[in-house]
Amino acid sequence: MPDANGPNGLVAYSEVFIGHFDQTRLTKYLASIATAREIYATHDIYTVPVGAGTGRLLRVAVVTDDTIAASNAPTTEQIHAMLDRYRASANPFSGPTLLTGLYPDVPMLSPVWGIGAIGLPFSDDGRVSVQGLRLPLPDTTPLIASIRYTTGLHLRVEQIAATEAEARRSALKLNTLLALFHQMQQFQGGGPETDMINELASSIQIEQKGDRAILTAKVPLDLIRKLTSAK
């Protein structure tokens, strides 16, 4: 408009553009003309000057491969709110629940996943037991489990501990249990079932990252075929 001043000062607009564009080229272009870049809610927000000498700024965020959010509001509040609304709409859950808080941590492209805490029948006196083996996990520990299928079946289980020290202790104890399991398997007889268990166990890796103890395992395709064909 010829005069962007309203009764309360400069008129600001916030828009969402939906269409087809080359995301890589657009991102590169925005980065080349932006005077600042902010990361908010996993999205890059580019600040671009608008009009020589006006002092106005346009903030642009590439939300998805077909959606762009833009705002020339004087602060970042509007563009942040737009990204917050997008994140809320993309989340299939709502409300202050365990699912709401942890769902963003589920690995992308995981068709099978679960969030919760282990309870009965695995909980025994506040601890978790599997086939008589007590695991170093309280039965109220939040867990995120997911399965992805690429070149094999990839399993990932995250324990969310109260502190980094607790996560470190859990990872250490789980690694100790895994080492004991490997030693016990050396005395087991051979056979297809034992071989499958050993193959699965050999793929398990346990590590600590921040306040999380993470278990990952990769099951080769040959093992999947054996399991699915077993009668």
Range 150-158 average pLDDT: 81
Q: What is the pLDDT of residue 174?
A: 86
- Say if residue 127 is in the same domain as residue 62: no
- Residue 223 above 90 pLDDT? no
Domain coverage including residue 43: 5-90
Same-domain pairing of 39 and 118:
no
Q: Are residues 82 and 139 in the same domain?
A: no
Q: Clarify whether residues 202 and 135 are in a common domain.
A: yes
Do 31 and 119 belong to one domain? no
User: Is 70 exceeded by the pLDDT of residue 32?
Assistant: yes
Alpha helices in the chain (DSSP H): 23-33, 77-90, 98-102, 164-185, 192-202, 221-229
Same domain (yes/no): 122, 50 = no
For position 2, what pLDDT does the model report?
42
Q: What is the mean pLDDT of residues 9-23?
A: 81
Q: Do residues 212 and 119 share a domain?
A: yes
The tens digit of pLDDT for each residue in 49-79 reads: 987 777 789 999 998 888 899 999 888 989 9
Total domain count, the chain: 2
Do 107 and 205 belong to one domain?
A: yes
* Domain end residue (candidates: 90, 111, 136): 90
Asked if pLDDT for residue 19 goes beyond 70, the answer is: yes
The tens digit of pLDDT for each residue in 84-116 reads 877 766 655 544 456 667 777 888 777 878 887
Cα dihedral 130→136→138→143 (10° resolution): -80
Judgement on whether residues 44 and 134 belong to the same structural domain of the protein: no
The residue type at 151 = T
CATH value at residue 23 = 3.30.310
Q: Which of 65, 97, 59, 98 is nearest to 79 (CA)?
A: 59
Beta bridge partners of 156: 146, 216
Residue 121 has pLDDT above 60, yes or no: no
User: Which is more confident, 123 or 10?
Assistant: 10
Least Cα distance to 131 among 195, 177, 179 occurs for 177
How many residues belong to the chain? 231
Minimum mean pLDDT range among 84-98, 153-167, 178-192: 84-98
Tell whether 124 and 79 lie within a shared domain.
no
Dihedral of alpha carbons 179, 181, 184, 185, sign: negative
Place of tokens 């000498």: 53
Chain centroid to Cα 117, Å, comes to: 18
Query: Which of the listed residues 68, 90, 112 is the one where a domain comes to its end?
Result: 90
At which of 39, 74, 90 does a domain end? 90
* Inter-CA distances, 167 with 15, 89, 144, 212, Å: 43, 32, 14, 5
**For the chain, how big is the Rg over CA atoms in Å?**
25
- Model confidence at 206, pLDDT cuts 50, 70, 90, reads very high
Residue-level pLDDT at 120:
42
Q: Which two tokens stand for residue 197?
A: 């268990």
Q: Are residues 112 and 225 in the same domain?
A: yes
Residues 107, 53: one domain?
A: no
Q: What is the pLDDT of residue 142?
A: 83
What pLDDT score was predicted for residue 124? 52
**Residue 177: pLDDT over 90:** no
Averaged pLDDT, 2-26: 72
Instruction: Give the residue from 32, 78, 42, 81 showing the smallest Cα distance to 59.
Output: 78
